[in-house]
Amino acid sequence: MKWRPLLLSPLLFIFLVSISTVFHGLVLSHTIPEERDHQHSNKMRLELIHRHSPQLIGKLVHEASNNNMPKSQQERILQLVLRDTTRHRMISHKRGQYGPNSRRKNWEFNTSIEMPMHSGADYGAGEYFVQVRVGKPAQKFMLIADTGSDLTWVYCSTRNTHKRRQGNHRRVFHADRSSSFETIPCLSNMCKVQLADLFSLTTCPTPITPCAYDFSYIDGSAALGIFADDTITVGLTNGRKMMLDNVLVGCTESTQGAAFKGADGVLGLGYGKFSFATKAAEKFGGKFSYCLVDHLSPMNISNYLIFGGTRNEHSLLGNVRYTKLLLNVIPSSYAINVKGISIGDVMLRIPFEVWDANVGGGTILDSGTSLTILAEPAYKPVMNALGMSLSKYKRLLSDIKPFEYCFNSTGFDQSLVPRLVFHFADGARFEPLVKSYIIDVAPQTKCLGFLSVRWPGTSIIGNIMQQNHLWEFDLVRSVVGFAPSSCTCT
Ligand SMILES: *[C@@H]1O[C@H](CO)[C@@H](O)[C@H](O)[C@H]1NC(C)=O
Ligand SMILES: *[C@@H]1O[C@H](CO)[C@@H](O)[C@H](O)[C@H]1NC(C)=O
Ligand SMILES: *[C@@H]1O[C@H](CO)[C@@H](O)[C@H](O)[C@H]1NC(C)=O
């Protein structure tokens, strides 16, 4: 473990701080020599494992996380809904508080939380896990892949903390065993300015004290630790490994409130200067993609998060269409410009403000939200139109909250359901599979898989809606391409 310069004259110190800042701007990562020449022909591949997947069993250390698996489909869906609700609230608060007048440490507001949250699994960080290797030599972790946040962090012990951790059975990153671990001084511009949005703290008892964070979540839980740069080792599609150097990694020394049960930390895949997604994408032509299979009826097919061009990685079942990504419009998120929804080729009457991020609306694509969430003025017409088309099936009024429209699916023929299409402002159309919005909730019971939020509010195209499509995010051109796919690799 390398702590930044210990005994320095103030001038030399300031010089080094500036150098390290420049360094941060320029040298994002470097490849190990033999890979350097082929960096664009290779792709980096991380397997995405859904939190309900049997593949996850045994991979998480925390014993409680493994028997947290839902016992029935209904329980499974209700768990998803619970986390979606929390996550939506987090995204909304993040939006509100990143306004022009407020920038840092303003999670301190009194919100009413309707739901108790007892585990990290519930805090809304995301639905997929990835295995990531941190440090040199590499230490392995299962992190939650979160497309809604920028900070990558792992439970961690430094020489200051590891004594206290004895007896704790969680998997931790031993920072002192990593030769590439480098803290960031609290006096640096990096700490004071650039990391402010990631909740860096202003306290700085000595110039070389590592830059600390207090990353708070709205349920009152928090991850506290110090920022560092370290190496992350990733697998390539050709079977080799590549090291990404100087990736910003939070070394979380403690958490407060609800524990982040199950996961060893979070992989920040949001759009932000220091997110893992941005850094890794820079190395691989600015692109990353994923293709998610149906996790409501799990098959033994792996989902992958791939950095690099993916056109020939997945078997596509249709043309790739593109729409503009609105980066920096909604913090950390991948916003897209939806302008309408049609059902059975009839455009629904939805006020255009719903789609306008500048007036509190807007839509994001989010892999960490399961269901699709619509602001109320969009939710109502969608539910009405789909409900009408299902009127020949027996509506079930016994409540499967929060679903408003469920029906007895005996004899259901999805080919007779009018198709729902999202229309983007630039003309692209996204036509999800029927099973992505008429979902199985219990035996012989299907429900319209939408949640509503009050206006003004952010609409979210969740991971169930995105299933069976390849989504390729191009951060250089600010577009997202999508195409129907079986999500099996070629
Ligand atoms: C928040 O609630 C606490 C106690 O519930 C109260 O003491 C505090 O003043 C409140 N803060 C604000 C900003 O309303
Ligand atoms: C899934 O596939 C893997 C490898 O192909 C196999 O080892 C495992 O038993 C399969 N699991 C199920 C639930 O079919
Ligand atoms: C659905 O309808 C069938 C046939 O009418 C009936 O046997 C079954 O119990 C119903 N299921 C539910 C969940 O209502």
Residue 2 lies in a domain: no
Query: Which parts of 265-342 fold into alpha helices (H)?
Result: 276-283
List the helix and strand counts (H, then E) for the chain.
7, 29
Q: Based on the fold, state whether residues 400 and 431 are members of the same structural domain.
A: yes
Say how many Å lie between the CA of residue 313 and the centre of ligand 3: 43
pLDDT for 19 equals 39
The rounded Cα 106 to chain-centroid distance in angstroms is 22
Query: Three-class SS of residue 149?
Result: coil
Position with higher pLDDT, 468 vs 5: 468
For a pocket test of ligand 3, which of 410, 440, 446 has the largest count of ligand atoms closer than 8 A to its C-beta?
A: 410
Say how many Å lie between the CA of residue 172 and the centre of ligand 2: 28
Q: Based on the fold, state whether residues 336 and 353 are members of the same structural domain.
A: yes
Give the ligand whose atoms come closest to the C-alpha of residue 56: 2
User: Worst-scoring range by mean pLDDT, 94-108, 150-164, 263-277, 307-321?
Assistant: 94-108
Residue 236 lies in a domain: yes
Residue-by-residue DSSP string for 232-260: EEEEBTTS-EEEEEEEEEEEEEEEESSB-
Q: Based on the fold, state whether residues 174 and 134 are members of the same structural domain.
A: yes
Is a pLDDT exceeding 90 seen at residue 171? no
Which of 25-29, 36-40, 95-99, 279-283 tops mean pLDDT?
279-283
Which has the closest alpha carbon to 226: 210, 241, 242? 210
Taking residue 58's Cβ as centre, other Cβ atoms within 10 Å add up to: 8
Q: Based on the fold, state whether residues 62 and 159 are members of the same structural domain.
A: yes
* Rounded Cα distance, 318 and 301, in Å: 20
Note the pLDDT tens digit of each residue in 38-66: 444 578 888 888 877 777 777 776 544 45
Given a contact cutoff of 8 angstroms between Cβ atoms, the answer to whether 104 and 196 are in contact is yes
366 is catalytic: yes
Q: Based on the fold, state whether residues 290 and 240 are members of the same structural domain.
A: yes
Residue 10 lies in a domain: no
* Rounded Cα distance, 316 and 307, in Å: 18
**Which of 84, 122, 146, 219 is an active site residue?**
146
Query: Three-class SS of residue 312?
Result: coil
Q: Is 408 in the pocket of ligand 3 (CB under 6 A)?
A: yes
Q: Which of 275, 308, 341 is the last residue of a domain?
A: 308
pLDDT for 99 equals 37
Say how many Å lie between the CA of residue 100 and the centre of ligand 1: 24
Residue 367 lies in a domain: yes
pLDDT for 135 equals 96
pLDDT for 31 equals 38
* Rounded Cα distance, 188 and 227, in Å: 12
Q: Based on the fold, state whether residues 27 and 49 are members of the same structural domain.
A: yes
Query: Three-class SS of residue 67?
Result: coil
Is a pLDDT exceeding 50 seen at residue 132? yes
* Rounded Cα distance, 214 and 108, in Å: 12
Confidence of residue 246 (pLDDT cuts 50, 70, 90): very high
Q: Is 409 in the pocket of ligand 3 (CB under 6 A)?
A: no
What average pLDDT does the chain have?
80
Given a contact cutoff of 8 angstroms between Cβ atoms, the answer to whether 412 and 433 are in contact is no
Say how many Å lie between the CA of residue 386 and the centre of ligand 3: 21
Q: Based on the fold, state whether residues 92 and 236 are members of the same structural domain.
A: yes
For a pocket test of ligand 2, which of 300, 302, 488, 489 has the largest count of ligand atoms closer than 8 A to its C-beta?
A: 300
Q: Which of 308, 331, 351 is the last residue of a domain?
A: 308
Q: Based on the fold, state whether residues 423 and 449 are members of the same structural domain.
A: yes
Say how many Å lie between the CA of residue 444 and the centre of ligand 3: 7
Give the percent of the chain with pLDDT over 90: 44
- Over residues 5-22, the mean pLDDT reads 40
Range of 357's domain? 315-484
* Rounded Cα distance, 75 and 155, in Å: 29
CA atoms within 13 A on the CB side of 373: 32
pLDDT for 53 equals 79
* Rounded Cα distance, 351 and 349, in Å: 7
Residue 88 lies in a domain: yes
* Rounded Cα distance, 326 and 365, in Å: 11
Is a pLDDT exceeding 60 seen at residue 461? yes
Is a pLDDT exceeding 90 seen at residue 101? no
* Rounded Cα distance, 179 and 230, in Å: 9
pLDDT for 167 equals 45
User: Worst-scoring range by mean pLDDT, 59-63, 338-342, 443-447?
Assistant: 59-63
Q: Is 445 in the pocket of ligand 3 (CB under 6 A)?
A: yes
Q: Based on the fold, state whether residues 40 and 136 are members of the same structural domain.
A: yes
Residue 102 lies in a domain: yes
**Which of 229, 230, 366, 440 is an active site residue?**
366
Number of folded domains that form the chain: 2
Is a pLDDT exceeding 50 seen at residue 459? yes
* Rounded Cα distance, 180 and 265, in Å: 19
- Over residues 208-233, the mean pLDDT reads 84
- Closest ligand 3 atom to residue 408 Cα is 1
pLDDT for 57 equals 72
Say how many Å lie between the CA of residue 445 and the centre of ligand 3: 9
Residues with beta carbon inside 6 Å of ligand 2?
A: 54, 300
Q: Based on the fold, state whether residues 266 and 193 are members of the same structural domain.
A: yes
User: Worst-scoring range by mean pLDDT, 83-97, 158-172, 211-225, 345-359?
Assistant: 158-172
Q: Based on the fold, state whether residues 44 and 184 are members of the same structural domain.
A: yes
Residue 116 lies in a domain: yes
Domain containing residue 85: CATH number: 2.40.70.10
Q: Which of 264, 290, 308 is the last residue of a domain?
A: 308
- Closest ligand 2 atom to residue 300 Cα is 1
The two tokens of residue 431 are 């036509």
Residue 45 lies in a domain: yes
Nearest CA to ligand 2 atom 12: 300
Is a pLDDT exceeding 80 seen at residue 356? yes
pLDDT for 220 equals 61
Nearest CA to ligand 2 atom 9: 300
Query: Three-class SS of residue 306?
Result: strand
- Closest ligand 2 atom to residue 54 Cα is 13
Q: Based on the fold, state whether residues 259 and 207 are members of the same structural domain.
A: yes
Give the ligand whose atoms come closest to the C-alpha of residue 47: 2
- Over residues 22-39, the mean pLDDT reads 38
